[in-house]
Structure 1
Amino acid sequence: MRRASPASLIAAALLAAIAAGTYWMVQRTLPSGGDSTPYVKRHIPDYYADSLVISMLSPTGQTQYRVNAVHLVHFEDDATTAMTLPAVRAFTPDQPEVTATGKRGTLNADMSIVDLYDDAVVTRQPGPRDPEMHALSEHFQVLVNEDIVRTEKPVQLFRGQSVMNASGMIFNNTTRAVQLLGNVRGTIQPAELGARPPAPAGAKP
């Protein structure tokens, strides 16, 4: 029988020591049989996604809102989602599209509230009777179930050639009504109030 060399004996001893150490570490990290403490979720990411698109359907099965973001992080404790460069698009039959964007945003657990922060913008495309509308603020909140976009922050509203400033705003996507809140000031063009614009010089009455 061939006798083992000293080198092979040393290697075998090292492997045995490593195996014993690994077993000891596993036993130390495993919970004891009598430990029934439930796992407590923490506010840590449990998954990530890039270039994700989320569609929210109406009761009739049509796309009502579409949310997309460059980067998305989901947290395990409250099921909220943090988004980078989010965009929210609202689709209403026979109405111009409305888009809300921000540099960052959050989505709650049941996807009923989207918050947009930092250089947030709401844009309504022009329609047959309405000019294009832009609203600028540091925060907009989209209430999906109510079909409302609102802000409690100072807002600047551009509607055609009119410019308005206020301390807050509520935009109803169903009725397309805009309500400016607190310290409202600005300039509204006569044509956008329903008044007849002045006739060009030299035109016949």
Structure 2
Amino acid sequence: MRADHACPGHLGGATGPLRSMTDGPFQQASHFWLPLVIVGGLVVLTTWLGQLAEQPLPQAPTVLRHDPDYFVENFNATAYDVSGQPRYHLTAVRLTHYMDDDTADLIAPRFVREGAGVARVVVRSLRGVVSANGDTVDFIGDVRMLRERLQDGPPIDLTTDYLRAYPDRDLVVTNKPVLIKDGGGQLRGAAMQADGKQKTLELSGRVKGIYETRH
């Protein structure tokens, strides 16, 4: 006799379609949540792009060019001491101011230092530059400085190509060759410093002097 029956645990006689775990509830849940995840990601991405577009674009730092912002014809300025007396004058045919560094160019500047107890000094040149804070005035090209006669000394006539003046310090310096004439002779040097307060004049470099005698 033959018994047609299936033993427990034996799949050989089983009929019908086989199913794996991927065909169960887990697969159905993934089919349900996946579209929602994609849509949610798109919403977040769209929101982030919108916020990014609303932010102002970074601006490049502004670089000021060395362009003039104003000029003055027949410039004339006077500085006074604490007692109200004129201390020095600065004039020029033309002053041109630059906004980027707050300096000013001068055409044909003329500087006059005067006051009680000091010799009158006049400096002029072809052009000049005033610093941003006004502490220095550079005289450039065919510079001539004339110090009038003192009671105890002759006048001094100085020529050079460049001279820097510190008006408030009563000081003038140059790192260019200089020629100084003081009546009876002349001196040449590679650089110079003249201090009006200390009443000193220093020459440096290869200093040469000529003294003229009169008979």
**TM-score between the two structures when normalised by the length of structure 2:** 0.68
Query: What code does the residue aligned with 1:65 have?
Result: Y
1:141 aligns with 2:133: no
Per-residue CA distance 1:150-181 (angstroms, 9 max, x = gap): 10000000011111100011111123321111
| Cα separation, 2, equivalents of 1:61 and 1:112 | 20
1:106 to 125, 129, 132: 129
1:169 aligns with 2:187: no
1:171, 1:179 within 8 Å by CA — same for their partners in 2? yes
1:181 aligns with 2:204: yes
RMSD: 2.1
State the shift of 1:189 in Å. 5.3
| Cα separation, 2, equivalents of 1:111 and 1:48 | 16
| CA shift in 2, pair 1:36/1:46, >3 Å | farther
Query: What code does the residue aligned with 1:133 have?
Result: I
1:92, 1:174 within 8 Å by CA — same for their partners in 2? no
Tell me which structure has the larger Cα radius of gyration: 2
State the shift of 1:95 in Å. 2.2
State the shift of 1:39 in Å. 4.8
| CA shift in 2, pair 1:35/1:62, >3 Å | farther
Secondary structure at the aligned position of 1:145 is classed as helix
2:176 to 134, 150, 153: 153
Give unmatched runs, 5+ long, in structure 1: 1-32, 191-196, 201-205
Give 1:90's aligned residue: 113
Secondary structure at the aligned position of 2:169 is classed as coil
| CA shift in 2, pair 1:188/1:44, >3 Å | same
Give 1:62's aligned residue: 85
Give 1:76's aligned residue: 99
| Cα separation, 2, equivalents of 1:160 and 1:139 | 23
Per-residue CA distance 1:71-96 (angstroms, 9 max, x = gap): 11100100100000001111131222
**TM-score between the two structures when normalised by the length of structure 1:** 0.71
| CA shift in 2, pair 1:137/1:173, >3 Å | same
What number of residue pairs does the alignment pair up? 160
Give unmatched runs, 5+ long, in structure 2: 1-54
Give 1:121's aligned residue: 144
Identity %: 24
2:107, 2:127 within 8 Å by CA — same for their partners in 1? yes
| Cα separation, 1, equivalents of 2:176 and 2:142 | 12
